[in-house]
Amino acid sequence: MVKLGLIGCGRIGKLHARNLVHRVEGAQLIIVSDSNPQAAKKLASELGIEYTLDYRELLKRELDGVLVCTSTDTHKQIVIDACEAGKNVFCEKPLARTLEEVDEMVRAVRRAGVKLQVGFNRRFDPNFSQAKKEISSGVIGKPLLLKITSRDPDFPSLEYLKVSGGIWVDMTIHDFDMARYLMGEEVEEVYSTGSVLLEPRLKEFGDLDTVVTVLRFRGGAIGVIDNCRRAVYGYDQRVEILGEKGMMEVPNPLPLQNIRWDIEGAHSSKLYYFFPDRYERSFVEEMRAFIKCLREDTEPPVTGEDGRLALLLALRAQQSFKEGRPVKVG
């Protein structure tokens, strides 16, 4: 049994904690921590486990790994502390908002000889991981074109947006990771353009709501990501990859399959509203993968380097937009 502690009892922390207790085998969640006493206590009591207000107390416990689910600005310090306490780490995405911070974190991981898995959960979605498997097997041949559609159902709060680091760091970062994951290849150039079409207040702090990003991979393949903060029809998360020998489409799964026919035509289900439902399975599988790499002492499936490279692409895309030209990733 792998013994775990969890730091940060907010939305995503609770989600991981419940999955660890109810849906993941081979792991035992021992303790949770949160500087907010109510949050820590409530989650601990729901799951029948211990809690502490100070994550440093948690790090003193005998644990195989910790999950860092706090707000992004606290990631660096907690991850470094966890490394120094000799704990393997699962850290939510993004690792940090600057490359410098990420580099510091990755150095701490190496120094301590622990493992770091980054929370790009979408890789563990059954559709995406099956697509990856088939693409790697060569069934569609050499990839030529990648298209990622990634649209939220609605805006988060303006307060959140102001400190989010901008749409590329907050939202597209998942798609940058997905692009690298599916293509199995690095990006050499990024071009991004976009607009404020839905929420004029974004202009006050230089953010966008509708963005298209073009990726040039080293081998010449081209990728396109389109993002929008509001798709009224739901959380739209699709991928397609054209290869030399075929094409792989990953459409949206639907919560209901029913089709109603009337005099106007056919009517079918809405999309899942947002990520806790849409990516439910991926969060379970992500934890299973983390447990597995601890138990079998293997490389995590999403490393600190993966976290770093996704952030690098996000920052280059932002730069591209600001400078109005494609930017080399370097």
Query: Which are the contacts of 308, defined by CB distance < 8 A and separation ≥ 6?
Result: 95, 99, 102, 103, 106
Of residues 11-70, which lie at the interface with a copy of itself (CB under 8 A)?
A: 21-23
Measured from the CB atom, is 103 or 199 closer to a copy of itself?
A: 199
| From candidates 142, 203, 295, 322, binder to a copy of itself by CB under 8 A | 142
Task: Tell me if 185 sits within 8 A of 217, measured CB to CB.
Answer: yes
Q: Does 244 bind a copy of itself (CB under 8 A)?
A: yes
How far CA 75 is from CA of 21, 60, 72, 104, 199, in Å, comes to: 24, 18, 5, 11, 29
Cβ proximity to a copy of itself: between 44 and 91 the closer is 44
Read off φ and ψ for residue 324, nearest 5 degrees.
65, 35
Element (H, E) at 176: helix 173-183
Stretch that binds a copy of itself, among 92-100, 109-117, 141-149, 303-311 (CB under 8 A): 141-149
Q: What are phi and psi of 118, to 5 degrees?
A: -100, 145
Looking at residues 253 to 272 of the shown chain, list those that interact with a copy of itself (rule: CB under 8 A).
Answer: 253, 255-271
Structure tokens given for 182: 């599916």
Compute how many residues bind a copy of itself; rule: CB under 8 A: 73
- Distance, CA of 316 to chain centre: 18
**For 163, phi and psi rounded to 5 degrees?**
-105, 10
For a copy of itself, give the closer residue by CB, 48 or 113.
48
Please report how close the Cβ of residue 217 comes to a copy of itself at its closest, in angstroms.
9
The smaller minimum CB distance to a copy of itself, of residues 101 and 236, is found at: 236
**Site stretch for a copy of itself (CB under 8 A), options 56-64, 107-115, 172-180, 189-197:** 189-197
Contacts (CB under 8 A) with a copy of itself, residues 80-139: 126-127, 130-131, 134, 139
